[in-house]
Amino acid sequence: MQKRTLLKDIASKLGVSTAVVSYVVNGKEKEKRVGKELAEKIRKTAREMNYVPNQIAQSLRKGSTKTIGVIVADIANPFFGNMSRVIENEANKAGYAVIFGSSDENSVKSALLIKTLINRQVDGFIIAPSDNSYEQILELHNRKIPLVLIDRFFQDIDTNYITLNCHAATFEATNYLIEKKFKKIGLIAYQTSMVHIKQRIRGYMDAMKDHGMEDNIRIEEVRHGFVRKDVEEAVVKLVTGDDPCDALLFVTNSLSIAGLYAIHKLGIKVPDQLGVLGFDWNEAFDFFYSPVTHIDQPISEIGKEAVRVLVEEINGSEKKVHMQLKHCFTIKDSCR
């Protein structure tokens, strides 16, 4: 491996001080009164010796690395994957590079990613916080590190956040199922303390209560890390037995996919025997024999707003943005 050319190597070859070479390669020759002829000679020698500036050192001098750290739950999930693409494009337009990480909904991994990105001197973070990551987010907030939360947030930490209005989304979805004459609607959610899931559960419950159907509220909560197993058990519990549900509402993309596997395995026909309504688009929804009606989040808008708000904070804005966006509703065949 070829040895990296340093400023002192150029200085030694020309018989000048390292400081003089530094002034020239950093564009300060006029300010430091370096002669025009010498400056040109230094630049020519630097090119000949294949000198490459130390970006880390330059970033430390400028106080900015022009990089953003982005931590999502799982970049392989189409929801987070598509949003990450938007974030990367918008950040590039603003002159920032992006370093991505997936927490896998694991607070230990999330803490390691945050520590690593801080050590990389990122200028700010866009994070979909995992369960049990409250202290991590609070520390970033207390250290005044620019930060925008996406998809979920903590109600008593005054951070920027860009999310969906989750209560409204499941409230409308449940109303839609009720309008389609489904009477016993079950909901499958994650077992978590995160506010976005709690809001989705509450939206379902409020819609059921508004129609006098509180006695038919059926909720099953599953564990992260055991999705396929727990969702299958939840589906079996909800749709078999003496008092089965006639429709199921899944509150995330991953739960929807696991639910379709379980329904197919049980041999249940959608929508003839069971109505299904999912959350977030996934191409599997359209390939399922009965294309799935689902709630769409404004992924592009969330990503664009997250970058805009973060860059404004990096540039000194102290205004906190709390934004909850409206969903869209895609009607397919799964709950006719």
CB 135 within 8 A of CB 112: no
pLDDT, position 29: 86
Where do the domains of the chain lie?
A: 7-53, 63-163+299-324, 166-298
Q: What is the pLDDT of residues 254-303, one digit of tens each?
A: 999 999 999 999 999 999 999 999 999 888 888 899 999 999 999 999 99
CATH architecture of 7-53: Orthogonal Bundle (1.10)
CATH topology for 166-298 is: Rossmann fold (3.40.50)
- Give the other-Cβ count within 10 Å of 320's Cβ: 13
- Cα 228 to chain center, whole Å? 22
Q: Which of 291, 212, 293, 216 lies closest to 250, judged by CA?
A: 293
Minimum mean pLDDT range among 18-32, 98-112, 116-130: 18-32
CB 126 within 8 A of CB 306: yes
- Give the other-Cβ count within 10 Å of 278's Cβ: 29
Q: Give Cβ neighbours of residue 38 (< 8 Å, ≥ 6 apart).
A: 16, 20, 24
CB 253 within 8 A of CB 77: yes
Average pLDDT of every residue of the chain: 93
Judge whether 63-163+299-324 and 166-298 match in fold: yes
Q: Are strands 328-330 and 293-296 parallel, antiparallel or unpaired?
A: antiparallel
pLDDT, position 242: 87
pLDDT, position 52: 79
Distances in whole angstroms, Cα of residue 173 to Cα of each of 147, 244, 282: 31, 20, 17
CATH architecture of 63-163+299-324: 3-Layer(aba) Sandwich (3.40)
> What pTM was computed for the model?
0.82
